[in-house]
């Protein structure tokens, strides 16, 4: 109580300060802001005026305080808030190379040498996707040999740590703890490096573990799929699934570097190799018409997964994604707009209801198709343009329909729940990116349910007419 009285006495003293203009009791009564003694602390909150202030001091709301024996209308100004801008600059490094673990290739060594410890060496913990290790049995040996040759800079703390990859790894929290235990056991610190080699889901897991250990350990990503090399692996996000929802737990963390070794693409099965092409089409549609024309001109070659056009598509896709992150003004997604998530509100839900039997690339292709036809239905996009884009998606090898889209719950298509889950995941106001023209984007905050259902119906009919084989439920 004595403490509260001191606050009140100080406030009374502050009212004598001519720099603070505090409303009189008569003014308060005129505004109807006084309450009876029995009413307790019930009042409007308003800001006091300060004659002279600086950019770094912001007045806070004033608080009405009632103490026995004191005026129930007494207003106590809160102390001012100190505010300072904290400018931050991040360097986002993305290197393209072939055969990164050839001992004559200095890409990885030189990246670490730029900021290693004073003695010229840096501890490195290598995490390796089990699927990648299985597809290339000699890879772990080449990694150890590379570090042995470059031991003047790279101190490999152990043989590569093998962990499972694929979307399933993001559903297993024990893998996060296993990574933390390795970091603790080998005393990997904030001046050390974690190198993660694997697909997009594996990089999400490894990135989350590295970002949360010691509040952030330097991470070098080495994506091994077209999807991760051209899209997710060059981004600044990580995360694992929780509550049955994709990426519910995660952070924004700019990796120290990304090394895209294009040799990894040669060991991919066709389905995984194809997935990254759809993200290339996506980013071209929202920001790069010239890139879209390249993809369209090489659609058949991309469908055959020919090396040269595929590598060019992945490189251009990565460049576009990095340019967007660096120049959009919102790299950590504080706003509600996510242009790079075009087609993803359907895709995320489709992956979930299929228990991830529909791959991310396949789900994005279908999600883009739904949104393209939806845009036609609402008069935003010309039908001929939409048909051309859908033809390209099919030419490179994607189907435009999944029977999981027919799944209903209480007489309502389950896929529609993806809109609210997408809004919840992004936060704030629902924001969906649509394409009004090739190379352009438009954010909308409402989606017409009837038009969505009509788009789904038209897409189903289109696939039926072309006699495409649909995925069984």
d(CA 77, CA 338): 41
- Reduced to 3 states (helix: H, G, I; strand: E, B; else coil), residue 204 is helix
d(CA 285, CA 292): 6
Tens-place pLDDT, residues 237-277:
999 998 887 788 999 999 999 999 999 999 999 999 999 99
Residue pair 300/382 in contact (Cβ under 8 Å)? The answer is no
Domains belonging to the chain, first-starting first, are 2-82 (no CATH), 94-268 (3.40.50.1970), 300-465 (1.20.1090.10)
Residue pair 375/386 in contact (Cβ under 8 Å)? The answer is yes
Residue pair 447/374 in contact (Cβ under 8 Å)? The answer is yes
Tens-place pLDDT, residues 4-58:
445 445 544 444 444 444 444 455 444 444 443 333 333 333 333 333 444 455 5
Helix axis angle, 270-287 relative to 383-395, nearest 10°?
Answer: 150
Tens-place pLDDT, residues 295-315:
999 999 999 999 999 999 999
Tens-place pLDDT, residues 387-404:
999 999 999 999 999 999
Residue pair 127/161 in contact (Cβ under 8 Å)? The answer is yes
Cα 422 from chain centre: 12
Residue pair 228/361 in contact (Cβ under 8 Å)? The answer is no
Question: pTM here?
Answer: 0.77
d(CA 298, CA 306): 10
């Amino acid at each position: 109580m004595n403490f509260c009285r001191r606050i009140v006495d100080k406030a009374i003293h502050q009212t004598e300060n001519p720099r603070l203009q505090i409303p009189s009791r008569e003014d308060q009564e005129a505004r109807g802001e006084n309450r009876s003694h029995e009413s307790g602390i019930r009042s409007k909150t308003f800001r006091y005026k300060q004659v002279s202030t600086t950019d770094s001091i912001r007045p806070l709301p004033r608080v009405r305080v009632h103490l026995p024996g004191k005026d129930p209308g007494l207003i106590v100004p809160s102390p001012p808030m100190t505010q300072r801008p904290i400018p931050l600059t991040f360097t986002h490094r993305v290197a393209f190379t072939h055969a990164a673990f050839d001992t004559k290739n200095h890409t990885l060594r030189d990246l670490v040498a730029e900021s290693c410890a004073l003695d010229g060496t840096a501890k490195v913990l290598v995490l390796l996707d089990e699927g990648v290790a299985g597809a290339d049995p000699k890879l772990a040996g080449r990694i150890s040999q590379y570090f042995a040759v470059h031991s003047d800079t790279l101190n490999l703390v152990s043989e590569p740590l093998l962990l499972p990859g694929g979307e399933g790894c993001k559903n297993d929290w024990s893998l996060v703890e296993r990574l933390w235990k390795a970091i603790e056991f080998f005393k990997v610190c904030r001046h050390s490096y974690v190198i993660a080699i694997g697909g997009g889901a594996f990089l999400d897991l490894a990135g989350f573990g590295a970002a949360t250990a010691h509040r952030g350990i330097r991470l070098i990503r080495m994506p091994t799929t077209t999807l991760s090399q051209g899209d997710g692996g060059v981004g600044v996000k990580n995360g694992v699934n929780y509550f049955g929802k994709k990426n519910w737990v995660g952070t924004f963390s700019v990796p120290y570097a990304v090394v895209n070794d294009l040799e990894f693409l040669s060991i991919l099965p066709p389905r995984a190799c194809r997935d990254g092409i759809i993200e290339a089409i996506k980013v071209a549609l929202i920001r790069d018409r010239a890139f879209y024309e390249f993809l369209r001109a090489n659609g058949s070659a991309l469908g055959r997964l020919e090396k040269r056009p595929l590598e060019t598509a992945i490189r251009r896709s990565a460049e576009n994604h990095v340019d967007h992150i660096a120049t959009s003004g919102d790299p950590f997604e504080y706003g509600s707009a996510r242009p790079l998530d075009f087609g993803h509100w359907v895709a995320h839900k489709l992956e979930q209801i299929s228990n991830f039997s529909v791959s991310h690339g396949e789900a994005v292709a279908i999600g883009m198709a739904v949104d393209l036809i939806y845009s036609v239905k609402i008069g935003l996009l010309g039908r001929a343009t939409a048909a051309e884009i859908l033809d390209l998606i099919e030419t490179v090898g994607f189907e435009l329909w999944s029977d999981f889209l027919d799944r209903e719950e209480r007489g309502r298509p389950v896929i529609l729940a993806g809109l609210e889950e997408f809004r919840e995941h992004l936060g704030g106001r629902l924001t969906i990116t649509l394409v009004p023209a090739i190379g352009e984007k438009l954010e909308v905050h409402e989606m017409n349910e009837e038009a969505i259902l009509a788009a789904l119906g038209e897409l189903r009919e289109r696939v039926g007419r072309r006699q495409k084989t649909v995925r069984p439920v």
